[in-house]
Amino acid sequence: ATNFGIDKALQILGIQALNNGTSTGTNQFSSGEIIESYSPVDGQLIGKVKTTSKADYENVMLAATSAFKIWRTTPAPQRGEIVRQFGEKLREKKEALGKLVSYEMGKSYQEGLGEVQEMIDICDFAVGLSRQLHGLTMHSERPGHRMYEQYHPLGVVGIISAFNFPVAVWAWNTALAWVCGDVCVWKPSEKTPLCGVACQNIAAEVFAENNLPEGISCLINGDYKVGEFMTKDTRVPLISATGSTRMGKIVAQEVAGRLGKSLLELGGNNAIIVTPDADIKMTVIGAVFGAVGTAGQRCTSTRRLIIHESVYDNVKNAVVDAYKQLRIGNPLDEKNHVGPLIDKDAVKMYKMALEKVVEEGGKIVVEGGVLSGEGYESGCYVKPAIAEAKPEFKIVQHETFAPVLYLLKYEGDVENAIDIQNNVAQGLSSAIMTNNLRDAERFLSVQGSDCGIANVNIGTSGAEIGGAFGGEKETGGGRESGSDAWKIYMRRQTNTINYTTELPLAQGIKFDL
C-alpha cells in the first residue's frame, strides 16, 4: 500500500503489519486467531490483527473494573480535561486517521476527515458537559427535609460498533462515557479492526501521559462471538451497540435477559418527501449526496424519494442527470464522488436488490452494475442505481446497504406522503423538501414523521453532534451524542436528607412506638 500516503498514515497511527487487537492501554496482548484487513479501495492487505480470546477478555475486564474504581473518584471536570487532551491528539492526527478510515472502510477522504472532525467535536461537547452533569432538586413533602437527585457513573460500558462509521461512533459513546466516569471496552467491526487499533493507540497515549490506570479505555477484537463476551457479562451494565437490526434484536434480548441496559443504533430506511413547491436544486443536492455518499452505506443514507406526482418527472429527470456526473473510483482521490462498497458480500446484496426490484415490477431508470478493470481491482466498486418502485415492494421495505435509490410517487396531500414514509419497520432519519409552511409543520407534528430525526429542507444524511442521534421502531430507540444523551451512561439516585430531630414518615403514615 503506497498510494496517497497510506504508509505514512499507518506509521503515524502506530499500525504494524501484525497488531494486538486486545489492549488495556499501554498493555497490549492477544491470543486469539488473526483477522486480515483488506482495503476495499485496492484489494491490498493493510495489516493483521490478533483477536481477543476468552482468557484475554478476562484480563481486560480485570483492568477495566479496577480502573473504574480510580476513574469514578476523579472529579468530572478533571475527566473532562483528559477528554480535552484526547481531542487535541485527534486534531494532530486528523489527516492520518481520516486517511486510514478512507482506506480501510472505503469512504471518501473528505468523509474520513469529517468522521474525525465529529470525534473532535464530541470531545469539545464532552469537556463542557463534564461541568454540567446536573440533577434536579425537589421540594420534600416533609418538614426539615431536603431532596435532590444525582447522577453517578455506571461502570464498564461495552461498545459494539459497525464498519461504516469505524471511528466516530466509538467517540460519540466514549467521550461522553468517560466524562460520566465510566470506563469503556470497545469491540469495533471485524471489517475495520485497524481503525480500532489506531484509536486505542491515541487514547492510550493520553491516559499514559496523565499517569492514569490501564483500563479506562480497552479494546477487544473479533466477530460476534467476542461481542457476546460482553453482552452476556453482568459486569457490563450498559451495552451500546450500533449495526444491523438483525444484530440489535439478538443483542437486545441477550442484555435484557440479564436486565442490563442497552443503547441500540440500528438500521434505517430513510426517505425524503418532495412536495409540489420544493426547491428542485436543493432537492437534487440533498437526494444525490444522501443516496450515493459513502456509497449508500450510511445509516442515514437516502433510500426512498417520495415525490408529488405534479413534480415527479422534473425531479426524476434532474436526479438522473446529476447521476451522470458522478465519478466512481479511489475514494482517496478527491476527484471521485463514490468509492467502493465494504466487501464482495455487500456487492452481492446490492446486485440482489436490483434483481428483486425488477422482479417485483420496478423499473430501473439509472442502470447499476459492478465495475471492473483498472482502478477497480478490488471488485467492490458499483454504479449508483435508481429504480422507480412502489412503497409496498418487499425490497423497498428493506434496508439495502448500497447506493440504490427508489423513486416513489404520491398524490394529493402531504399526509399521503407521510403515510408512505412512516409505513416501514425502521424509523431513523426523514426529511421534507418544501416551501409550504403548512406541509413542513404537518411533517414535524404529532401526525408527522415517526423517525428520530426529521429535517426540513435538508437531506436525511448526516447529523450534527449537538443533537441526540438515533431512531425509533426497528432502529432500536437509542439516543447518542448531544442533548441529554449522556444520561444513559449514568445511574440516577434520589437522595432525601432529614436535618431535624423528628422522623416523620412519607405519606403522613403514623407509626407510634
User: Shortest gap between Cβ of 226 and ligand NAD (angstroms)?
Assistant: 7
| Binder of ligand NAD out of 12, 162, 288, 485 (CB under 6 A) | 162
- Residue 304's DSSP bridge partners are 271, 406
Position 353 contacts ligand NAD (CB under 6 A): no
C-alpha distances in Å from residue 175, one per residue of 3, 169, 184? 32, 10, 10
- Considering only the stretches 42-50, 261-269, 281-289, 365-373, report the one whose residues sit in contact with ligand NAD under the rule CB under 6 A: 261-269
- Alpha carbons 71 and 278: distance in angstroms, whole number: 52
User: Shortest gap between Cβ of 228 and ligand NAD (angstroms)?
Assistant: 5
Nearer to ligand NAD, 120 or 167 (CB): 167
Position 158 contacts ligand NAD (CB under 6 A): no
Position 267 contacts ligand NAD (CB under 6 A): yes
Cα–Cα–Cα angle for 324, 329, 331, rounded to 5 degrees = 120
| Binder of ligand NAD out of 160, 402, 405, 433 (CB under 6 A) | 160
- Sequence-distant (6+) residues with CB within 8 A of 73 are none
Report how many residues bind ligand NAD under the rule CB under 6 A.
Answer: 30
| Binder of ligand NAD out of 71, 125, 151, 163 (CB under 6 A) | 163
Cα–Cα–Cα angle for 250, 298, 107, rounded to 5 degrees = 120
- Alpha carbons 278 and 509: distance in angstroms, whole number: 63
x/- mask, ligand NAD, residues 413-432, rule CB under 6 A, reads ---------------x----
Strand order in the sheet with 429-433: 363-366, 385-388, 404-410, 302-308, 270-274, 429-433, 453-456
- Considering only the stretches 45-53, 132-140, 156-164, 496-504, report the one whose residues sit in contact with ligand NAD under the rule CB under 6 A: 156-164
- Alpha carbons 446 and 437: distance in angstroms, whole number: 16
Nearest CA to 407 among 208, 224, 272? 272
Position 224 contacts ligand NAD (CB under 6 A): yes
- Alpha carbons 333 and 347: distance in angstroms, whole number: 21
Position 190 contacts ligand NAD (CB under 6 A): yes
Amino acid at 26: T
| Binder of ligand NAD out of 244, 314, 336, 397 (CB under 6 A) | 244
Position 349 contacts ligand NAD (CB under 6 A): no
- Residue 235's DSSP bridge partners are none
- Sequence-distant (6+) residues with CB within 8 A of 66 are 213, 215
- Alpha carbons 163 and 102: distance in angstroms, whole number: 12
Helices (H) and strands (E) in the chain — how many of each? 15, 24
CB atoms within 10 A of CB 409: 18
Nearer to ligand NAD, 20 or 51 (CB): 51
User: Shortest gap between Cβ of 68 and ligand NAD (angstroms)?
Assistant: 22
Nearer to ligand NAD, 268 or 290 (CB): 268
| Binder of ligand NAD out of 57, 68, 103, 165 (CB under 6 A) | 165
| Binder of ligand NAD out of 228, 343, 360, 415 (CB under 6 A) | 228
x/- mask, ligand NAD, residues 377-396, rule CB under 6 A, reads --------------------
- Considering only the stretches 93-101, 176-184, 203-211, 226-234, report the one whose residues sit in contact with ligand NAD under the rule CB under 6 A: 226-234
x/- mask, ligand NAD, residues 281-300, rule CB under 6 A, reads ------------------x-
- Alpha carbons 340 and 38: distance in angstroms, whole number: 13
Find the length of the chain.
513
| Binder of ligand NAD out of 81, 95, 124, 223 (CB under 6 A) | 223
| Binder of ligand NAD out of 170, 401, 406, 489 (CB under 6 A) | 401
- Considering only the stretches 12-20, 143-151, 263-271, 499-507, report the one whose residues sit in contact with ligand NAD under the rule CB under 6 A: 263-271
- Considering only the stretches 35-43, 52-60, 141-149, 160-168, report the one whose residues sit in contact with ligand NAD under the rule CB under 6 A: 160-168
> Are 448 and 285 spatial neighbours (Cβ–Cβ below 8 Å)?
no
Position 172 contacts ligand NAD (CB under 6 A): no
For residue 274, the 8-state DSSP code is E
| Binder of ligand NAD out of 115, 399, 439, 474 (CB under 6 A) | 399
The set of catalytic residues is 265
- Which sign, positive or negative, has the C-alpha torsion 74, 115, 480, 432? positive
Nearest CA to 129 among 179, 181, 78, 173? 179
H helix or E strand, kind and range, residue 453: strand 453-456
459-478 residues near ligand NAD, rule: CB under 6 A: 471, 475
Q: Which three cell numbers, joined as nine digits, stand for 19?
A: 497488531
Chain residues in the site for ligand NAD (CB under 6 A): 160-165, 187, 189-190, 223-224, 227-228, 231, 242-244, 247, 250-251, 265-268, 299, 399, 401, 428, 471, 475
